[in-house]
Every structure is written in structure tokens, then in C-alpha cells.
Chain A
Amino acid sequence: MCGTCGCSDADGVRLNPEPAAGSVPVRTIALERQVLAKNDVLAAKNRIWLREKGILAINLMSSPGAGKTTLLENTLRELGSTIPIGVIEGDQETLLDSNRLRAAGCRAVQINTGAGCHLDAGAVGEALTSLDPPDGSVVFVENVGNLVCPALFDLGEHRRVVIASITEGEDKPLKYPHMFQAAHLVLLNKIDLLPYLDYDVAGFSGNARIANPSVDVVPVSATRDTGLEGWHEWLRANLTQVLTA
């Protein structure tokens, strides 16, 4: 830029050659659009729909096999008689998980993403309509098992819960920080296996707080019914918050 009057810019003098005969001059159009705007608009619609019905929606995320479906089966057994619960299941293929949850006595809709590695707000919106959950209920969205992609997509949920399991190692929050940064709560599952594994629970919690300083970590075993009081308490408190909001 000219130091005296500021008459040029940082690129200095540029030569703009005569356009070739018949060519159309190039125009630059500023856009300033968020890449995920379309998903975010659909997520906001889901959020409004949920608020009108007083429904708490929880996005459950984990790697494959961490115990999301087992935790949901346990939660249904423990709370299903007092809180209406519905589930939207996301998997690339099969109806296995929605069948498991229906067998446990809950309304469940399966989304098969095919090649897709995450759920998006559009698919969840359609699934919510199909599930038709009653007012004042809790809807769990069991995302595709994957610690990377689901972290980026707002589904319109109120809370995001990440399930880690002790067979995965203490370092996962450091290796997959986006997922742990997105979490409101982390459940550390399969603690019944602690006697058989060399696992540092405090080390995991420390790593989770490096990724997300405000996150709570609750150690549980969904198969052995251990430590789940804290999870149930958290669910009830969050449902109350949504119903009174």
C-alpha cells in the first residue's frame, strides 16, 4: 500500500490483460454462506418441533461396540415405566438394534445410512415424524458408531452424550477431541471388566477434561447395572429442564 495516502492495496499493481475476443469477463461474487447451513436449518426445525411437544432429545455417540444399545436396553428397564422413551437408531445396515429395542418394549425407528457415516438433521426430522413420540417423553438418537463424523452434525438434539468403554483405551479423548468437545456428558462403560484390564479410569477422565474442561465423566457398567444412578439422575434433571423451559 502507498505509505503516503493508502492509494493501493497489498497486492500492488496488477496487469489486467484485454479479455480474449468473445470471452465473458470474470466477476467475483461474495457469498458468506455457512457450509452446514442447510443441516442447521433442519436441526433448528427439529428443535422447535421437540420444544412444542416438551420432548428431551439426546444424541448418543460412540465408537462401534461401546455399548450404546445395551445402555438403552438397561435405561428402558430402569426408567421405562416412569418416563416414555423412544429411540431413533442409526446404523449403516440392518434392523438389529431397532429390533432389540422393540423387544425391550420401546418405540423405535431405524435409519439405515448405507454408505453414510453419520446421521443428519433431515433424516432425524423424518424419523421423529415416523416415531411420533408422546409429549413429555425422552427420545434417544443412537448415532452411527463412529467417533469422528457425528460430532459435526447438529440434529436438533438438546444434549449430546458420548459413551466410551474401557476396552478402547484411555487415550481416546486425545485422539478424537472433536467428539469429546461436543459432549455434555461422558459415560465410561464396561467398568465390570476393570479386574481383567490394565486401565486407568482417572487417566481417562483427565484426558476427557483436556479435550473438554467442563465435561462430567460417569463410570458405568450397562450389563452389570453399576453406577447408573448418576446417569438416571442426569436424565431426570435434563427432562425437567426441558419441560420447564
Chain B
Amino acid sequence: MHELGITQSIVDAVLDAIEEPRITRLQLEIGKLSGVVPDSVRFCFDLVASGTALDGARLDIVEPPGRGACRSCGHTCEFDDPIVLCPCGSADVQVRSGRELKITAVDVG
């Protein structure tokens, strides 16, 4: 359950960056291959944000899919599973996206 620590990092990073008294919305990017479960972050968020400028903020999570290129056959594929297998059977796939773990925007006021 690393999501509690990760959610704490998210809230700390936002509060460090934004000196507004009230933040009404927080947008995150959590890639499908990031190893972080968005529902667990949602579960932890209200708890961690309580009593801060993020208290009551809406949490929007964008989940970019995994994308990569097979080093064996060159095929580009999309996958949501961390076990990456190209249709040609090779597991040697260079992951190009899906590992994002970012705070992208906040709404204030």
C-alpha cells in the first residue's frame, strides 16, 4: 500500500508549489504501467488532504495507456498490462509511455 505515501507526496508537492488558500481541483496523470493504483490514491486523498488547502478538492486522474515498440519486429503496440508481450511473441518491448506519475494542474479560487 505505497499509495498512502505517494498521496502524501502529491499533497506535499502541491502545497509547496501553490500558496493559495483554497485549491478546488487537482489533476494527476497515473500511467497504466506506473505501479500505482488510482483507486487507492482516491481512497487516500481525502484523508491526506483533510485540513489543508486541498480539503474537499476534486481529484481528476488521467490514465495514459502503455505504449511501446518491439525491439524484435518493430511493431508498435498498446498494452495496459505490465507484462508486455508483442503479438510476435517477443517480450523485448521498449516502453515509450504509460509510466507517468505526474501532477499536471490545479484549479484555485
B69 at the interface (CB under 8 A from A): no
A24 at the interface (CB under 8 A from B): yes
Which residues from chain A contact B28 at a C-beta distance below 8 Å?
35
Which residues of chain A in 197-245 are interfacial with respect to chain B, using CB atoms and an 8 Å cutoff?
209-211, 213
Assess whether B5 is in contact with A31, with CB atoms less than 8 Å apart: no
Chain B residues with a Cβ closer than 8 Å to the other chain, count: 31
A161 at the interface (CB under 8 A from B): no
- CB nearest to B34 among chain A residues: A152
Assess whether A29 is in contact with B6, with CB atoms less than 8 Å apart: no
Assess whether B2 is in contact with A148, with CB atoms less than 8 Å apart: yes
Question: Which size bracket describes the interface of A in this complex?
Answer: 20 to 34
Assess whether A209 is in contact with B102, with CB atoms less than 8 Å apart: no
- CB nearest to A34 among chain B residues: B102
Assess whether A29 is in contact with B101, with CB atoms less than 8 Å apart: no
Q: A36 to B12, alpha carbons, bound, how many Å?
A: 11
Assess whether B101 is in contact with A34, with CB atoms less than 8 Å apart: yes
A177 at the interface (CB under 8 A from B): yes
A25 at the interface (CB under 8 A from B): yes
Q: A149 to B14, alpha carbons, bound, how many Å?
A: 23
Contact with B along A34-69 (1 / 0, CB 8 A): 111111000000000000000000000000000000
Q: A213 to B92, alpha carbons, bound, how many Å?
A: 6
Contact with A along B1-39 (1 / 0, CB 8 A): 110011001101110011000001100100000011000
- CB nearest to A146 among chain B residues: B2
A151 at the interface (CB under 8 A from B): yes
Which residues from chain B contact A38 at a C-beta distance below 8 Å?
9, 12-13
Q: A31 to B5, alpha carbons, bound, how many Å?
A: 20
Q: Which of A117, A210, A213 contacts B2 (CB 8 A)?
A: A117
Assess whether B105 is in contact with A28, with CB atoms less than 8 Å apart: yes
B44 at the interface (CB under 8 A from A): no
Which residues from chain B contact A149 at a C-beta distance below 8 Å?
1-2
- CB nearest to B90 among chain A residues: A213
Q: Which of B17, B82, B107, B109 contacts A33 (CB 8 A)?
A: B17
Assess whether A24 is in contact with B105, with CB atoms less than 8 Å apart: no
Which residues from chain B contact A29 at a C-beta distance below 8 Å?
18, 105-108
Which residues from chain A contact B59 at a C-beta distance below 8 Å?
none
Which residues of chain A in 134-183 are interfacial with respect to chain B, using CB atoms and an 8 Å cutoff?
148-149, 151-153, 174, 177-178, 181
- 19 example contacts (A-B, Cβ-Cβ < 8 A) are as follows A26-B24, A27-B107, A27-B109, A28-B105, A29-B106, A30-B104, A31-B17, A31-B103, A33-B102, A35-B28, A117-B1, A117-B2, A118-B5, A148-B2, A149-B1, A153-B2, A174-B83, A178-B82, A210-B91
Binding site for B on A (CB under 8 A): 24-39, 116-118, 120, 148-149, 151-153, 174, 177-178, 181, 209-211, 213
Q: 4 closest A-B pairs (Cβ-Cβ)?
A: A149-B2, A24-B109, A177-B82, A213-B92
